[in-house]
Amino acid sequence: MDHDDPHRDDDTVVTPLVRPPGRAVPRDLDDTVVRPRGARPGGDRAGTAPVRPARRRHGVRVGTAVHWLDRPLLVGRRPAAPRVVRGAEPQLVTVPSAGGEVSASHVSFDQQGDVVVVTDLRSTNGTVVVMPGRVPVRLRQGESVVALAGTIVDLGDGVLLEVLPPQRIPLQEDPLP
């Protein structure tokens, strides 16, 4: 076996951290990074996209189904995407509402960074958010709240949604900006 082969992917080397000109680096930041042999900052040696760690996405349990927040989630009796969509097209999830308490497009869930934002979409009967260890909060029409893992969102008519802790999503499902 030739240990000096520059095309081996399993070898690692320690190279200096590349600092952008004029940018300060915190003192506690280590001065080295580990990259595969031959890799360049910002991409691999074949010129493909840079390698990023997998992102962690929260999920929302709707009945027995889990929907990962890799894009916004709209839940309602007959949800419809807004006329103008900025960013990713939302996932539309239909829930039953025998008593008509759930609005057509009732609530949205959107992961922004590491947090989940729950927004009442101007529903007729409101949305109740119950965070672990806290008093339930009824959202006003159009109001948003940051939800923790374990939060229960009550739409009425027995429709309960649960915000799940983040899970690692594979890289192929994590598009580059």
Question: Over the chain, what is the mean pLDDT?
Answer: 80
- 124 in Cβ contact with 103 (< 8 Å): yes
User: β-pairing, 73-76 with 91-94?
Assistant: parallel
What is d(CA 58, CA 49) in angstroms, rounded to the nearest whole number? 25
Rounded to 5°, the CA angle 77-81-87 comes to 140
Residue intervals of the chain classified under CATH 2.60.200.20 are 56-168
- 69 in Cβ contact with 57 (< 8 Å): yes
Residue 96, SS3 per DSSP: coil
Scan for tokens 């900006």, then name that residue.
177
Whether the predicted pLDDT of 10 surpasses 60: no
Question: Does the predicted model carry a pTM greater than 0.85?
Answer: no
Residue 3: band (very low, low, confident or very high) from pLDDT cuts 50, 70, 90 = low
**DSSP character string of 22-35:** T----TTS-SEEEE
Identify the CATH assignment for 56-168 out of 3.10.580.10, 3.30.70.890, 3.40.50.720, 2.60.200.20.
2.60.200.20
19 HSE (CA, 13 A, CB side): 12
Q: What is the pLDDT of residues 21-57, one digit of tens each?
A: 666 655 555 455 555 555 555 554 555 555 555 578 9
Q: What is the pLDDT of residues 70-109, one digit of tens each?
A: 999 999 999 998 887 788 899 999 999 999 999 999 999 9
| Selection from 151, 121, 149, 150 nearest residue 136 by Cα | 151
Residue 176: band (very low, low, confident or very high) from pLDDT cuts 50, 70, 90 = low
Q: What one-character DSSP code corresponds to residue 8?
A: -
pLDDT at 30: 47
Strand partners, 108: 74, 119
